Amino acid sequence: MMPKLWTKRRLAMFLGLFAGGVAQAAAAMAAAYLALRTLSGDTTQGTIAGLTGTAIAAALLNVFIRRGSESFAQSFVHELRIAFFGHVMCAPADGKSMRYGLVMTRIVNDFSAIKLWLSDGLVTLAIAVAAFL
């Protein structure tokens, strides 16, 4: 039996990551525009303050996206591990071969590496989609 992987909480987390990616892209574009104005000679206090604020916002959003995607990936992969582990435990009782149990155990153990890949992939997806908007 597969667990329900897309719960309301996970969907909210994913949409939050997506919104964070859009906000980070907007902050980065605003910082680039303000940096261009600063390099063009506009050194008013508002331009410098805006540049500082957008740079800090982009950095904080980056931290939010990294931590959120890691949390999302860990919860998502944990549910998958539990589901596959249930199949591993039932394999001898179902009359499956020993090789089947070993393959399923290897899959369960490989999920710890997959969660890191998934979290980095979510960060990349959030930033890439936001860049194209």
Angle, helices 45-90 vs 8-39, to 10°: value is 150
Helix ranges (H only) for the chain are 8-39, 45-90, 98-132
Helices 8-39, 98-132: crossing angle, 10 deg rounding:
40
Query: Whats the size of the chain, residue-wise?
Result: 133
Q: Which of 68-72, 81-85, 127-131 has the lowest mean pLDDT?
A: 127-131
Query: Mapping DSSP to helix (H, G, I), strand (E, B) and coil, where does residue 19 land?
Result: helix
**pLDDT tens for each residue of 29-66:** 899 899 999 998 888 888 999 999 999 998 898 888 88
What are the structure tokens assigned to 130, written together?
Answer: 């936001």
Segment 95-108 shows an average pLDDT of 61
Average of per-residue pLDDT across 111-133: 64
